[in-house]
């Protein structure tokens, strides 16, 4: 590859696609040519990159001729249809869908966690689930020093994680509720305005959802730790952007709050926000449009007597670090 790269973005008109364009510009990625791809109905529209309007082209199997890196945020079905065409063209596919995440031949990458795995790629690299990415940015620095044994996580996931329809539903229902109008859910299974829904993705026979199991299996793969014990409950909450997570972590060795703070203070991708005396702790409003994951509410788990368990709370922008930024960081590694 040359010092400047020909980049394609598939799904360029979606929320993550637009965020990818902005992230490439903000981080001054060395681009020679940028090709924006979307469905036929979006072809001909224009988006702006560095002050220049770029016409969106229809995504086709011959769209990747001369492309070095293709960033995909167009959904799993689109990835399945076009992945072979990308690889056969000589481009490297960085995919934001779940299609290849658990494929043993495809590296699953968070640059702050397992950058060395990128060397194993065979033309395709997978971007993890946003909740897993946000969690591991905060957990991995501690795991490398103390070795994680067990992880229990509860998530508070913004409606934008479900796309534009989820955001529209929250906006409409909030107005309806304030006006005492009847509310009929159309997108979510239940009313989301002024409510919590402990149900994201389909349920499995064991009672966990696919979203929850993604966090289990993706964490094990990226940490190269198949015996890691993880239990997760994923909850949709009525906010527009940025996911939060409550973490309970048990380590092999004793660990203190002071040690955790010292490790995380200089950890890549982490901003320590842990000053409860001044009411400073991670919140989704503060995490929105931030590259780093905010970490705070760090405390010893008082339910254990062995001083090996820590509780903390984190917030991260799932559109940015959870999707677009992570994909661009993978491209930077390449």
Residues labelled catalytic: 130, 243
Rounded Cα gap, residues 26 and 10, in angstroms:
19
Taking a C-beta distance cutoff of 8 angstroms, is the pair 122, 200 a contact?
no
Place of tokens 């065979």: 122
Angle among Cα 125, 130, 135 to the nearest 5 degrees reads: 105
Integer Cα distance of 49 and 72 in angstroms:
18
Sign, CA torsion 186/192/198/201: positive
Three state DSSP letters for 316-334: ECCCHHHHHHHHHHHHHHC
Instruction: Give, for 27, the enclosing helix (H) or strand (E).
Output: none
- The residue whose two tokens read 């299609």 is 99
Q: Could you tell me which residues come within 8 angstroms of residue 246 by beta carbon, excluding any fewer than 6 positions away?
A: 153, 154, 156, 311, 312, 313
Q: Is 26 helix (H, G, I), strand (E, B) or coil?
A: helix
Sign for the CA dihedral angle at 8, 12, 18, 19 comes to negative
> Could you give the CA distance from residue 87 to residue 41 in angstroms, rounded to a whole number?
25
Question: In this structure, what token pair is assigned to residue 269?
Answer: 């991708």
**Interatomic CA distance for residues 209 and 195, integer angstroms:** 19
- Indicate the pairing of strand 124-126 with strand 92-95: parallel
What count of other Cβ atoms lies within 10 Å of the Cβ of residue 304? 12
């Amino acid at each position: 590859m040359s010092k400047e790269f020909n980049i394609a973005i598939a799904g360029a008109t979606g929320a993550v696609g637009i965020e990818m364009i902005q992230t490439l510009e903000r981080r001054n990625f060395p681009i020679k040519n940028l090709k924006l791809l979307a469905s036929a109905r979006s072809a001909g529209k224009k988006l702006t990159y560095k002050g220049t309007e770029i016409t969106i082209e229809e995504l086709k199997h011959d769209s990747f001729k001369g492309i070095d890196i293709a960033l995909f945020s167009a959904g799993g079905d689109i990835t399945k249809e076009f992945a072979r065409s990308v690889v056969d063209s000589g481009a490297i596919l960085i995919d934001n869908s779940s299609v290849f995440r658990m494929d043993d031949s495809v590296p699953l990458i968070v640059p702050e966690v397992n950058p060395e795995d990128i060397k194993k790629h065979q033309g395709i690299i997978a971007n993890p689930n946003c909740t897993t990415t946000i969690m591991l940015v905060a957990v991995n620095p501690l795991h490398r020093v103390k070795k994680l044994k067990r992880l229990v996580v509860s998530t508070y996931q913004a409606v934008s994680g479900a796309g534009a329809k989820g955001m529209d539903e929250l906006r409409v229902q909030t107005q309806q509720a304030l006006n005492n109008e009847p509310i009929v859910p159309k997108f979510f299974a239940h009313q989301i305005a002024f409510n919590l829904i402990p149900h994201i993705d389909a349920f499995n026979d064991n009672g966990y959802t696919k979203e929850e199991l993604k966090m289990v299996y993706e964490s094990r793969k990226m940490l190269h730790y198949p015996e890691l014990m993880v239990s997760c409950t994923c909850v949709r909450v009525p906010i527009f952007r940025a996911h939060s997570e409550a973490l309970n972590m048990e380590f092999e060795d004793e660990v203190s709050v002071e040690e955790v703070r010292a490790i995380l203070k200089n950890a890549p991708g982490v901003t320590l926000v842990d000053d409860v005396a001044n009411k400073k702790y991670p919140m989704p409003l503060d995490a929105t449009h931030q590259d780093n994951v905010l970490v705070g509410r760090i405390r010893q788990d008082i339910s254990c007597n062995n001083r090996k368990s820590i509780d903390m709370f984190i917030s991260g922008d799932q559109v940015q670090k959870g999707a677009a930024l992570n994909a661009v960081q993978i491209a930077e590694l390449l």
